[in-house]
Amino acid sequence: EADIYQTPRYLVIGTGKKITLECSQTMGHDKMYWYQQDPGMELHLIHYSYGVNSTEKGDLSSESTVSRIRTEHFPLTLESARPSHTSQYLCASSRTTGYNEQFFGPGTRLTVL
Amino acid sequence: GQQVMQIPQYQHVQEGEDFTTYCNSSTTLSNIQWYKQRPGGHPVFLIQLVKSGEVKKQKRLTFQFGEAKKNSSLHITATQTTDVGTYFCAGSSNDYKLSFGAGTTVTVRA
């Protein structure tokens, strides 16, 4: 079982609130990713990082921001949540060399009222 | 950017039957990966294919990478209730970003 953690697992908040979704991995992976997935739908890459102090936007435009100050930690922040942000957010990480399979965390299911 | 198309979107299978899900890319891929997501769960890596024409088997699952490295398939024989879930293909082109297909959601009739 992969050692990648996300908190909280479920979050219900009101419009306009600032939230941070936490993601941590203990595998020493350089590469980390954030995906957004609506129920029963495909995964959309919203942010990725190839290492400390490296962050890039993904293929799907997102109003969220990320930071990578430590290798093991890749938090995602929404400054002002809106109902359109309601979704599941999945964090993943992968090795730098060899197989670049991605290990996924359990996800955070966000509901914005 | 590259796009990965996956069909069918839904597959309803009688227990014991075989089925295949297909994945096509608009560009040549360096590798393709397959993931399985159980209902309410997160994607779990199944396999990676790298070589043109490569075929790999995992028990009842057979994965194939096309000669042109633009398509792939997953064939499951003798479907069981444990096969329920959504199967995603994900392609990569010379970097570590994956483009996921829309997935094939499999339900099994006992």
pLDDT digit of tens for each residue in chain B (110 aa)? Answer: 568 999 999 999 999 999 999 999 999 999 999 999 999 999 999 999 999 999 999 999 999 999 999 999 999 999 999 999 999 999 988 767 889 999 999 999 98
User: What pLDDT score was predicted for residue A100?
Assistant: 83
Q: Which pLDDT tens digit goes with each residue over A65-97?
A: 999 999 999 999 999 999 999 999 999 999 877
How would you class A7 by CB atoms within 10 Å of its CB: exposed for 0-12, middle for 13-18, buried for 19 or more? middle
DSSP A73: B
At residue B99's C-alpha, the angle toward residues B93 and B105, to 5°, is: 140
In this structure, which amino acid lies at residue B16? G
- Nearest CA distance, B107 vs chain A (angstrom): 13
Q: Give the mutation candidate from B21, B44, B93, B97 for the A interface (greatest A CB count, under 10 A).
A: B97
Nearest CA in chain A to B96: A100
CA atoms within 13 A on the CB side of A62: 26
Q: Give the mutation candidate from A6, A42, A47 for the B interface (greatest B CB count, under 10 A).
A: A42
Pick the closest to residue B83 from B31, B49, B23, B37 (CA basis).
B37
Q: Is B102 near chain A, with CB under 8 Å? A: yes
